[in-house]
Structures are given as structure tokens and as C-alpha cells.
Amino acid sequence: MNHGCKHFWIITELGLQFGFYVIALKNSNSHRLFTSSLQMTDQPLRKLEFLHANGFPASSYQQLFKNFEDFDVHFVESLGQLDKGLPQDWESIADQVLSQMNSHQPSVGVGHSLGAVVLLYAAEQRPEAFTNIILLDPPLFSFGKRASLWLLKKFGKMDRVTPARTALRRREAFSSHQEAFDQLRKRSFFRKFSDQVLTDYVSNGFIEQADCVKLHIPKELEYHLFQTIPLHFSKSWKGLEGHLIFASDKGVLQHSDRNELRKTLPGFQQTAFNGGHMFPLEQPEKTAKIIRTLINLRD
């Protein structure tokens, strides 16, 4: 779990209702929330592909998803968790996403933090797969910061300025989901999570073992992803269009980063969100409202 950083920036990463029913269909690491109206209609639901932040399985965002009952919501439960081992970099995770998307294109793409950057790589490879691209506080830094990170990485000091070290030290098992909830509720990082959001995270972020519950996303993977944060941007991104929502309160993007992104992503409109980096989990209803507004603007 990412609880803060030093120096350059702060990354704090990681039934029946209203006439609709929701069925969760699981297939390995690929998940789908299929939402269908109880009233028969010939009009197909719009598709939405969601990509999560590092350390937070996609099912942790249930309180966000419930605001998209008129969408067919899909997601990869754990980005970068592959049978063949650790991914080479964030760009390589795009293949995992696009493979899972073969059955539901085109889609509105929404990504948070790690997921936002992976979404860019996926859209670069197959722009026709997305009708809209919405980035939620992506860790895309200015050239000066990336140059400094490159030097730190070269000398093996990357984890001193990213949440990587904290991720590696995090507790990976509890005796039960209840103990996990009780212990995490005491931590300042989760202070702004509602009980329901924290329950969703604990239920999906820890899987049952014989005598305990254990992290769904291995801390070694979370650490590796922080260590391989992109230091080079693709020139092809300039041809993409969409929206970038940045956190105005201790988000990952400072003013210098956002200014440079206006050149790197000239087709993206920037919108401020009054909250921290974890705003999709801390304020899911407000986040969903802004996302829906941006989708409607595009339509």
C-alpha cells in the first residue's frame, strides 16, 4: 500500500435495485459486471472498461461501479498479474487489457493511476477500441522529475522516492477479513474510505487461505510496478483525445507536470477534482458524476 513519498511528489497509491439487476461473471483475472434493465429493450448498453490503481483490485471500486447501472462494465481484476511472471513494464500490461477486451469493443476507457497510464498504452495500440478515454490522476511527471527518477533507478535508489519500499513492507496476511478491516481502519491512509468501500477492498483485496486471508495482489508485484513507473512518453499519445481528471489536494500531478502534459497530451482536457489521489475510492459518487458528465460531453 502506498502511504506517501518523499522529495518530488506524493503518490498515495493504492439484488434488485432501481429496476436493474447486476450479475458478476468471473473468468480468471477478467471480470465483467453485466447490468441489464428489467424492462426488455433492443438498445444495447454502452460498454465501459475500467483499469485500477496499483495495489487495489478492480473489485475494490464497487461503490464507483454502482453509479454506472446503464453501462456494461468490464475490468481486469489485477493488472500485471500474469501466469508468466512479472510484467516487463507498464506498457506490456496493455496486452493483458486488450486481450480481455476482444469481446466488448468499442468501450469507454476509464483508468485510475497505474490504470490510467496502461489505458494510454492500450489506446495507443488500438485507438479504435475506445470511444472515450478518461484518465484519473495518472502518474505522468515532467521531464525534470523523470530524469531524476532515471538517475535514482540507475543507482538502485528508486524506492526512496516512490511508495515501492512501503509496498514491500506491508502486511500481507491477517487471520480473517474482519481482522484486516479492523487493522486497516486504524490507518490514516484509509481514513477517508467509507466503511462500505473499505469492506469492498478487504473482501476483494484479501483472498481466503487455509488459515488466513492473504493479499490478492502480491506485494512483490505492487513493488515491481512502482519500480517500473514510465520514464519515457510515447509520441503517439499526441494523437489521442480524452479527459484527464487530476486531484487538487495532494494528488500526484503538480503544476509543472500538468503544464508539460498539455504538450504531451494536447487532445486531453484537464479537470480538477477537489480531493486526494485516491478520490475514486474516497468519493466514488462524486467521481462517477464527473465521469458521466465527461462521457456525455463526448457523446
User: Domain holding 280: CATH number?
Assistant: 3.40.50.1820
β strands within the chain, DSSP E: 20-27, 30-37, 46-51, 71-76, 107-112, 130-136, 173-174, 206-208, 213-215, 242-247, 268-273
Residue 220 corresponds to which amino acid? E
Residue 174 lies in a domain: no
Structurally, how many domains does the chain consist of?
Answer: 1
Domain assignment of residue 145, yes or no: yes
Q: Is 31 contained in some domain?
A: yes
Q: What is the pLDDT of residue 276?
A: 97
Give residue 118's pLDDT band: very low, low, confident or very high (50, 70, 90). very high
- CB-based contact 244:138 (threshold 8 Å): yes
Phi, psi angles (nearest 5°) of residue 232: -130, 135
Is 189 among the domain residues? no
What pTM value is reported for the model? 0.87
Predicted local distance difference test score (pLDDT) of residue 38? 37
pLDDT at residue 19 greater than cutoff 60? no
Higher-confidence residue of 9 and 101: namely 101
Q: Which domain holds residue 271?
A: 20-164+228-298
Q: Is residue 177 part of a domain?
A: no
pLDDT value, residue 21: 30
Report if residue 237 sits inside a domain: yes
CA gap 246, 297 in Å, rounded: 18
